[in-house]
Amino acid sequence: MSISIKKSDTWGALASSLCLVHCLATPFLFTAQASAICCHSNAPTWWYGIDFVFLIISFFAIYRSAKNSTSPFIKKGLWVCWSFLFVLIVNERLEWLHLSKLYLYATAISLVVLHLYNLKYCQCKKGLCCSFPR
């Protein structure tokens, strides 16, 4: 598998992976900060803005990947996962429902897996790709 930084799936997998690391690191960073500085556990605004930067990058990566993919399942899966991730992040900011972070982690991991699968198996231009006739 040749990974080129020019491929939208590479960008999408990278953005989703960094989003996952960002989400996993947040509780640890701010727990450590709260321990060091008493009574101040709010995250800086720029830290929450990173979520939306990842969403924007992944939107364009998914747009391009869905255009180039030969699998209808992968196309739909990418958009469903991105939509779910978007709703989860907006929900987290606006606090509509209290949901486990596991949903966020699972969705980000799903995006990484779908992008990597699409990168490896769904980019051919001849005949059969992803077990689906073109």
Both tokens of 6, joined, read 């020019």
User: Is 130 within the bounds of a domain?
Assistant: no
In a domain, 105, yes or no: yes
Mean pLDDT of 27-35: 56
pTM: 0.67
Lowest mean pLDDT among 4-18, 33-47, 59-73, 107-121: 33-47
For residue range 44-95, list pLDDT tens digits in order.
676 677 788 888 888 988 888 888 888 889 899 999 999 999 999 899 888 8
The CA-atom distances, in angstroms, between 55 and each of 35, 59, 61, 64 are: 30, 6, 10, 14
| Domain span including residue 68 | 8-36+44-124
Question: How many residues are present in the chain?
Answer: 134
134 in a domain, yes or no? Answer: no
In a domain, 95, yes or no: yes
Report yes or no on 132 lying in a domain.
no
Domain count, the chain: 1
CA–CA dist 78, 58 (Å, integer): 10
In a domain, 133, yes or no: no
